[in-house]
Amino acid sequence: MNKNTRIKLNDGLTMPVVALGVWQSHEGTKNAVLTALKNGYRHIDTAAVYHNEKDVGEAIKESGIPRNEIFVTTKLWNDDVRSGNTREALKKSLENLGLDYVDLYLIHWPAEGYLEMEKLQKEGLTRSIGVSNFRKSHLQNLLSKVHIVPSINQIETNPQMVDEETIQYCKENKIGVEAWSPLGSGACLNNPKIQEIANKYQKSSAQIILRWLLQKGIVILPKSVHENRIKENIDLFNFVLENEDVELINQLNQHKRTVPDPDNFDF
Ligand code: A2P
């Protein structure tokens, strides 16, 4: 595994295992994306509701890197699903990004609307389609209705929040898993156990957590607007966590979410 390593999705597409996440990046977004691309990232994860697709698009253009070398994900917001504006929403995202297609389009929170996404994939507006924040029960319901199994489920996953049941279900159904807030929005970095393991490997806490996720076969989307951290968060391929350390981090799970549970959200 190295920073160019890609995982194969169930539709045949491949995706780099490390992405730059831009949730809560705000005015730092363009610079962060440019910095990431300069430092070897080839996967950027945004969403309509982050209101920074334009900055992401400008950075991609300014980087000079060919479009087909960068994997771009965006997401369909809840209001657009509910009002049946799925197609219009993707068109708007593409306009904001300045792109003809995205690589992956996700339903941001559990909702109907997936069948419309299947059409958008056929039209070539998105190469792959998937979901986000779906728990096992949402996926079971979805799979009973769809023609195309989602390629990805992007869920909150970090040392204090692991939904093993959903991850296992995704594995069984060949749905790739991506971790949003892999660092627990920063909350996991000061955990004494993580710091102890970081000392052992002479790595930062962030690197230990990100490497732990990669070794579990999970794609990571760390967010940072700082160059040193952006570099650090993809510098994960010159060490391997021993199984006993993977297990120690597994034991930190508290099922503690930083946002509402996907079964009980009101936005
Ligand atoms: P910043 O953007 O100011 O660098 P997550 O990806 O889990 O949502 O975590 C993002 C949070 O963690 C942000 O507050 C980000 O801050 C911080 N962060 C990201 N990478 C690192 C790192 N390598 N070391 C310390 N903090 C980090």
Please give the pLDDT value at position 265.
Answer: 83
Q: How far is the CA of 224 from the centre of ligand 1 (A)?
A: 5
Q: How far is the CA of 10 from the centre of ligand 1 (A)?
A: 30
Q: How far is the CA of 189 from the centre of ligand 1 (A)?
A: 9
Q: Is the minimum distance from the CB of 226 to ligand 1 under 6 angstroms? A: yes
Q: Which atom of ligand 1 is nearest to the CA of 182?
A: 7
Tens of pLDDT, residues 143-156: 999 999 999 999 99
CA–CA separation, 207 and 170 (whole Å): 25
Tens of pLDDT, residues 220-261: 999 999 999 999 999 999 999 999 999 999 999 999 998 888
Q: Is the minimum distance from the CB of 156 to ligand 1 under 6 angstroms? A: no
Residue nearest to atom 12 of ligand 1 (CA): 186
63 burial class (0-12, 13-18, 19+ CB within 10 angstroms)?
A: middle
pTM of the complete model: 0.97
CA–CA separation, 46 and 104 (whole Å): 10
Q: Is the minimum distance from the CB of 167 to ligand 1 under 6 angstroms? A: no
Residue 166, both tokens: 């959903």
Q: What is the mean pLDDT of residues 187-191?
A: 95
Residue nearest to atom 16 of ligand 1 (CA): 224
Tens of pLDDT, residues 35-61: 999 999 999 999 999 999 999 999 999
Q: Is the minimum distance from the CB of 231 to ligand 1 under 6 angstroms? A: no
Q: Which atom of ligand 1 is nearest to the CA of 222?
A: 6
Q: What is the mean pLDDT of residues 146-167?
A: 97
Residue nearest to atom 26 of ligand 1 (CA): 186
Residue 264 has pLDDT above 90, yes or no: no
Nearest residue to 163 via CA among 69, 257, 36 = 257
Nearest residue to 80 via CA among 70, 68, 93, 69 = 93
Q: Which atom of ligand 1 is nearest to the CA of 28?
A: 2
Distances 67 to 53, 63, 93, 121 between C-alpha atoms, Å: 15, 10, 16, 18
Q: Is the minimum distance from the CB of 184 to ligand 1 under 6 angstroms? A: yes
Please give the pLDDT value at position 113.
Answer: 84
Residue 211 has pLDDT above 90, yes or no: yes
Active site residues: 50
Q: Is the minimum distance from the CB of 90 to ligand 1 under 6 angstroms? A: no
Q: Which atom of ligand 1 is nearest to the CA of 158?
A: 7
Could you please report the per-residue DSSP string of the chain?
Answer: --TT-EEEPTTS-EEESB-EE-TT-GGGHHHHHHHHHHTT--EEE--GGGT-HHHHHHHHHHH---GGGSEEEEEE-HHHHHTT-HHHHHHHHHHHHT-S-EEEEEESSS-S-HHHHHHHHHHTSEEEEEEES--HHHHHHHHTT-SS--SEEEEE-BTTB--HHHHHHHHHTT-EEEEESTTTTTTTTT-HHHHHHHHHHT--HHHHHHHHHHHTT-EE--B-S-HHHHHHTT--SS----HHHHHHHHTT-----SS--TTS---
**β pairing state of 14-16 and 6-8:** antiparallel
